Amino acid sequence: MPVTQEVDCGTAKLLPDVDRPRAVLLTVDGAPQSYVDLDEPTYLEFEYARRIAHVLDAAAEPGRPLDALHLGGGALALPRYLAATRPGSRQQVIEADRGLLGLVRRYLPLPADSGISVHAADARTALEAAPAASADVVVADVFGGSRVPAHLASAEYARAAGRVLRPGGCYVANLADSAPFAFLRGQLANFAAVFARLCLIAEPSMLRGRRFGNAILVASQEELPLADIARRVTADAFPARVEHGDRLRELIGDAQPVRDAEAVPSPEPPTGAFSVG
């Protein structure tokens, strides 16, 4: 049966998938947050989650454990994926909503040997407190409702992410915007000021400004496995494009890094863009 519970950030619902016996969709105030199949943790329903998973798959040789810091937890779909595909990985998950964490722990518990530790804290505070050079990957999927919070959208935040990563590590973030991409361009400018290499993964229709949608930002100090990532995302049911180099610089244009004092949340999605039920 569906489960409804008031959490810190609104009304959370766990909606069973009738086609998959132990799969559940998590929504908060009608916006999809996570989809988890307890029997098959490598199954990712959302396109943006699969694109992040492609980056994680390409981040190191297959099966090699990684040290990961996840900012934003939801139902822990991506930490579960990484634990299944890279056994032995050590993962720290930061989720600000204590009520949501309690709901997930009760109805969608983690295996005892998952290597995943979950902490109730603010993502920026936890990032700034994390030891330097302690993570192979930082995965950011933090939304207050349907918007990326302003304090996770500044140049200072980008520098904090860079400090936590080891040499060769990568930062991966789920962002959302639409043309003329004022928010997205500012985020790219923030990370271009800190990292030597960037790419952006998104559907062509979103990049052409035809609709509001998700875009995955990837940043590293070293060369990114662009060909591998491109091969993976173009093979999806909803193919995406990998923008980098000159095309990414054209998208950034004259955008400048955004300081904490000027940072704003990502734009409100159009009505119905991500809602369920």
Is the torsion defined by CA of 128, 129, 132, 133 positive or negative?
Answer: negative
Residue 144 pLDDT: 83
| Amino acid at the residue 120 | A
C-alpha closest to that of 97 among 69, 72, 70 = 72
Residue 194 pLDDT: 98
Alpha helices in 6-61 (DSSP H): 47-58
Q: List CB contacts of 110: < 8 A, sequence separation 6 or more.
A: 76, 80, 116, 118
Residue 218 pLDDT: 98
C-alpha closest to that of 194 among 154, 224, 226 = 154
| CATH fold for the domain made of 41-262 | Rossmann fold (3.40.50)
Residue 107 pLDDT: 96
Single pTM value for the model: 0.95
- Is-contact 10 100, C-beta < 8 A? no
Collapsed DSSP state (helix, strand, coil) of residue 199: strand
Domain borders along the chain are 41-262
Residue 270 pLDDT: 86
Grouped pLDDT means (10 residues each) for the chain, 277 residues: 93 95 94 94 96 98 98 96 98 97 96 95 98 98 91 98 97 97 98 98 94 96 97 96 96 97 95 56
